[in-house]
Structure 1
């Protein structure tokens, strides 16, 4: 697996990142360990989690299971210094029995209204909890998981800068955020000399979002333009294969957020290039994203099973020609 620079930090990370969201819940610990071992054997170094993963997994959960699995795995393998470790804070909702319906279904509407937020004390406590579960004294990348517009940005940024200076965080990131907020964050960091984010984690794939979609988490043209103008901020793209729809024709109509006038043409081009390369459509999409450098894109895959990981790892070896990249882009 190739290595790429994260923003303009000089820090090299694997060109493919592994999302650990489901580890410890939807993916049991033995399978989680198999996935982690296989990813690192393949040259992967960039692993992503969050303090809230997966609070929605079962009634009464407060999350943290993913971080705990990662902590045990790193301690057992003795490989913490070889892992570029990312976690997140601000996304854990306030505990309330109403977070789960009678059948155990999570109440996402209530969760979104009661996220912990990015207040200074909240972030400090959240990070300390993450470090304890991960069994480490620092994380390499720490995201504000859910952009908090009720807390002054100055409070959040000053607190995060203090945590960087304290050695608990190496680099900062932001997730689920509007473009104008990224610009406001950049300007405040420039003004006060605070540590600026070097990564933004958003949902991004090969299909373009429906023009009518207004979703803070999905990258649109304006955000891509801002990222091109600010190459110090890398795009870490979660859900790059949209739950595998490129390989599953029956699922393609389910993602209405990504239906538009060019959807059929884009899917046809992916299918054609998959036939030319001998790769799967999912692998072609991941390879296409890995090839982007303006802005730099690091696809973040989240396999639930070892088999799903094996189906995606070959994307790292798919070499798309200049003609194929141009056809996909067009």
Structure 2
């Protein structure tokens, strides 16, 4: 993969392609997902994008987090946490009381994501969508 570049002024260095993990634990089972992750990193990739909501829309996947869980298992089993950047998102509705971008919900959601990802840090935590029910300054 081409030379890594700085991601804005973050200090993070990223390959030109980011691997989207929305199918992990859904249309790609754990074994297939591990194969994709292994091949991506072997090819020089270093950034994996996911979200707490992936794949809550699938019957039997109430609560979401399947993609983060698969990625977390891969990170732990392969010992690759220091080799990749993890990008995840918050804000989509997981349940009537689990949605939005309030300060309290973000605190809960990030802890849930950290647990599923089996890590103590997330490299880039993003809003999946705007939350018009709160002031823009609240989550900041």
Partner of 1:37: 38
Partner of 2:29: 28
Partner of 1:85: 86
> Aligned-pair distance for 1:90?
1.0
Change (3 A) 1:126 1:115: closer
Query: Any idea what SS the aligned residue of 1:138 has?
Result: coil
CA contact (8 A) 2:51 2:68 kept: yes
Instruction: Select 2:106's aligned residue among 123, 134, 138.
Output: 123
> Aligned-pair distance for 1:60?
5.5
Partner of 1:146: 129
Query: Any idea what SS the aligned residue of 1:24 has?
Result: coil
2-structure distance, mates of 1:17, 1:90:
21
Runs of 4+ in 1 over 6 A off after TM superposition: none
2-structure distance, mates of 1:82, 1:119:
32
2-structure distance, mates of 1:93, 1:51:
8
1-structure distance, mates of 2:61, 2:78:
31
Change (3 A) 1:74 1:7: same
Query: Any idea what SS the aligned residue of 1:57 has?
Result: coil
1-structure distance, mates of 2:35, 2:121:
25
Number of residue pairs aligned between Structure 1 and Structure 2: 139
Query: Any idea what SS the aligned residue of 1:43 has?
Result: coil
Alignment of 1:98-113 (within 5 A): none
2-structure distance, mates of 1:132, 1:60:
17
Larger helix percent: 1
Instruction: Select 2:138's aligned residue among 155, 165, 188.
Output: 155
> Aligned-pair distance for 1:92?
2.7
> Aligned-pair distance for 1:59?
4.3
| RMSD across aligned positions (CA) | 1.5
Q: Which runs of 5+ in 1 are unaligned?
A: 96-113, 158-330
1-structure distance, mates of 2:129, 2:78:
31
> Aligned-pair distance for 1:145?
0.9
Compare CA radii of gyration and give the structure with the larger one. Answer: 1
Query: Any idea what SS the aligned residue of 1:156 has?
Result: coil
User: When the two structures are superposed, what TM-score results if normalisation uses the length of structure 1?
Assistant: 0.41
User: When the two structures are superposed, what TM-score results if normalisation uses the length of structure 2?
Assistant: 0.94
1-structure distance, mates of 2:30, 2:94:
24
Q: Which runs of 5+ in 2 are unaligned?
A: none
